[in-house]
Structure 1
């Protein structure tokens, strides 16, 4: 059924035959272990600005920067030059023994963006690695206290969250579909409470403060259930990205849960791998919450896709405890603080600062919100449009009143993704599909997360193409709805 619907919703195959070029390849010729072994992915020849250029000549608007990664667009020569210069100076050194200027400068720049509220930066290669490091740092913090607390072995996170794909990070996440196959090998010391999702969680007659109070009580009850002195940390995304489709917390939520964490002596970890580093309009998403985390993970917008890089920011409470204890973090990786990755990330961050791109994220984000809501707010199958800055999600429902999701077999989000790519040879669009929005299994959404450099004209184009892809998809699927 899924294959039939995708074939109906996408015109890739017919276009490929008509153009005598293979966009959607059915034969297995690649030696790459692709994510889907049934098909080879579309091949990109080059990228520039907000555009991808496929090997068959097709030009596609990248409206999501991949997975909200390409924050300054593709092909910026300044980043290329910074990478080249770093290669000429130093390609690699082992962080167990050495440091280098690009690492030192990047970490100082990151701490400076927090106005000194965070103490140290720790650079790795991916968001999953950053979360693994955060989990270990939480545990070590309690072991390093003057009176050690070895019973602190648990974590509390949220349902329908995503914190990475490695075993520890996947255990932390609460996305049912992504966890299902691996449940028997996931860590049993992590439990999950409800997400802060006003669209699906807040009652129609419930005030925002009452909703916050209910969620805070649920977290407090979970501390009590598992033993308040056994919890290392509560982990949450300020704006939930891939799992819930750009769902921001309601006002006052993080202040309330910080109070609960402080009440029981647990740390607060904010996962900003997807929503941080300027994506929501401030360099750090927690700035809009009025709460400073003890540990923060960062990633995608850190290096803008120019090199594999992510990181962890640790607060003074954590760093001072380690400094006064063993004096070291019992964790390390081969490519930690890689000189070239640090040089690329440093240049990306300098571009964001020097060009005032955070202001553009805020201004263009408001314009994008207005355009999406004007064009899609009354669409029969659009349930909710939410987000912050240049980080927006559109959730699709079968019924706007009941908010009932579509049958999973229809794979609405992927159908829209495929339809967007196939609109025409020079007017395709890349949107980011996600499912499990309603309960971890059912529910569809797409993400729109353009580069921070996006212009008003480009937003008009992105919205036009997104609306066209959505309308074409539901027209294709009319007989299945």
Structure 2
């Protein structure tokens, strides 16, 4: 059956699925090829966000599908307490080698939240297994209004008010939060990048002192902040300064690259552009490109050696860790990225996307800031450009933009998020197309986004 022929009738109005909104049954996707999804109502939908920055190769990539089928024919599952697999070994070797050996082991799980959970637990265990154990290290420092995942541990590490709010009474209280590196709102008038970095480093150092430097396991941050702030990169020198503060107090340095890593920002690892190497690095989303649920934790040899010379066992495990089909999918995706030189395309098309976004949207009344790296771009909306005042949350602006983009006359994904300013107020959308996108597709994305914003802003 052809891609176009798969379209069906209108969406079913009842469902046994607990959808994200219990009062709304989404349209079904019935096919996908390249940057497009075909919906059941016949809409050919341009997946300009790759879901949530996931589909880095687009949809229906034959080479990846073939690799998955071949793995199914070999072995579809085995428990890692008993056996290893060729797929997991090859994936680990590829990723460790991609860091130049700076990170020496890979732990594979199924989602970004799980990878963050593993990172937090391994950071704690590291201090318990040092030659002179430091059991008093039980705390973490993260940033406002960060988002590191939706499980209880990862949610507690994050600082996003709206996401945390319903579960606040059952979240761990061992994480405190400092300011993000958010130049659009955080940098003072006339302040240089160096002075801004120094101020943020002083704030982090002061937080270490406040909670007790010897009680902190690690500082965790996203190199380019994804859903919480909308593709906000740090100013030059920021992460080197943050790592120095961690080193001063003997804490680990964790980078959460679940959304911004695996090529999304133009290098395979976002930290390659920051002049730092993390002790622990979470990866996901573009790791497997959506072809299978997969994420991972890359671990520095410093941490590995401490565990190896201690108990020799990470006190953490999951049924589907190192799943062979997920590993085979991720391995195939990463090989395609390398073979087709797609990181170069991310850089080239990323510059073109930036130029087009700034040219087409920068002058719009309610567009406050356009920022990002590679093929990872955010657009922040403000009620007043001079004061940077956000819209009232009751306006639900980001949601309206996302929903308008889904209309058949537009057929485009704009990943809308709220809480940009303080975890409650503020709206932005993310655009994150596939790594093999073309100039023609980017033109469609930008031109259609401009039309969507025009319609929504006319109502505002």
Please indicate the TM-score interval, normalised by the length of the shorter structure. over 0.9
- Is 1:70 paired with 2:55? yes
Gaps of 5+ in 2: 1-7
Match of 1:22 in 2: 10
Cα deviation, residue 21, structure 1: 5.6
Match of 1:406 in 2: 391
Per-residue CA distance 1:245-298 (angstroms, 9 max, x = gap):
000011000011111000000000000000000000000000000000000000
Match of 2:318 in 1: 333
Q: Secondary structure at the match of 1:467?
A: helix
User: 1: distance between equivalents of 2:240 and 2:43?
Assistant: 48
Q: Which one of 270, 273, 281 corresponds to residue 296 of structure 1? A: 281
Per-residue CA distance 1:372-399 (angstroms, 9 max, x = gap):
0011111110000000000000000000
Cα deviation, residue 326, structure 1: 1.0
Alignment map for 1:253-272 (pairs within 5 Å): 253-272=238-257
Alignment map for 1:439-450 (pairs within 5 Å): 439-450=422-433
Match of 1:3 in 2: none
User: 1: distance between equivalents of 2:160 and 2:398?
Assistant: 16
User: 1: distance between equivalents of 2:19 and 2:399?
Assistant: 17
Cα deviation, residue 414, structure 1: 1.0
Cα deviation, residue 428, structure 1: 1.2
Match of 1:465 in 2: 448
Per-residue CA distance 1:405-433 (angstroms, 9 max, x = gap):
00111111111111111151xx4111101
Q: Which moved more, 1:322-331 or 1:338-347?
A: 322-331
Q: Which one of 161, 164, 182 corresponds to residue 197 of structure 1? A: 182
- Is 1:342 paired with 2:297? no
User: 2: distance between equivalents of 1:21 and 1:393?
Assistant: 34
Q: Which one of 121, 134, 146 corresponds to residue 106 of structure 2? A: 121
Q: Which one of 398, 414, 418 corresponds to residue 431 of structure 1? A: 414
Q: Which one of 24, 27, 33 corresponds to residue 48 of structure 1? A: 33
Q: Secondary structure at the match of 2:184?
A: helix
Q: Secondary structure at the match of 1:293?
A: coil
User: 1: distance between equivalents of 2:356 and 2:121?
Assistant: 43
User: 2: distance between equivalents of 1:460 and 1:269?
Assistant: 37
CA RMSD of aligned residues (A): 1.0
Q: Does the 8 Å contact 2:112/2:296 carry over to 1?
A: yes
Q: Which one of 146, 164, 177 corresponds to residue 162 of structure 2? A: 177
Match of 1:226 in 2: 211
Match of 1:134 in 2: 119
Match of 2:128 in 1: 143
User: 1: distance between equivalents of 2:160 and 2:426?
Assistant: 12
Q: Does the 8 Å contact 1:423/1:469 carry over to 2?
A: no
Match of 2:5 in 1: none
Match of 1:8 in 2: none
User: 1: distance between equivalents of 2:392 and 2:28?
Assistant: 31
Match of 1:452 in 2: 435
Match of 1:36 in 2: 21
Q: Which moved more, 1:222-231 or 1:408-417?
A: 408-417
User: 2: distance between equivalents of 1:401 and 1:38?
Assistant: 38
User: 2: distance between equivalents of 1:31 and 1:45?
Assistant: 18
Q: Secondary structure at the match of 1:145?
A: coil
User: 2: distance between equivalents of 1:136 and 1:333?
Assistant: 13
Cα deviation, residue 22, structure 1: 3.4
User: 2: distance between equivalents of 1:185 and 1:203?
Assistant: 36
User: 2: distance between equivalents of 1:379 and 1:334?
Assistant: 50
Match of 2:3 in 1: none
Q: Which one of 225, 232, 240 corresponds to residue 240 of structure 1? A: 225
Q: Which one of 103, 127, 145 corresponds to residue 88 of structure 2? A: 103
Per-residue CA distance 1:47-95 (angstroms, 9 max, x = gap):
1111111101111110000000000110001111111100000010000
Moved over 2 A (4+): 20-23
User: 1: distance between equivalents of 2:326 and 2:173?
Assistant: 34
User: 1: distance between equivalents of 2:450 and 2:92?
Assistant: 41
Q: Secondary structure at the match of 2:412?
A: strand
Per-residue CA distance 1:350-385 (angstroms, 9 max, x = gap):
000000000000000000000000111111100000
User: 2: distance between equivalents of 1:21 and 1:322?
Assistant: 56
User: 1: distance between equivalents of 2:73 and 2:116?
Assistant: 32
Q: Which one of 378, 391, 395 corresponds to residue 380 of structure 2? A: 395
TM-score of the superposed pair, with normalisation by structure 1: 0.93
Q: Which moved more, 1:412-421 or 1:262-271?
A: 412-421
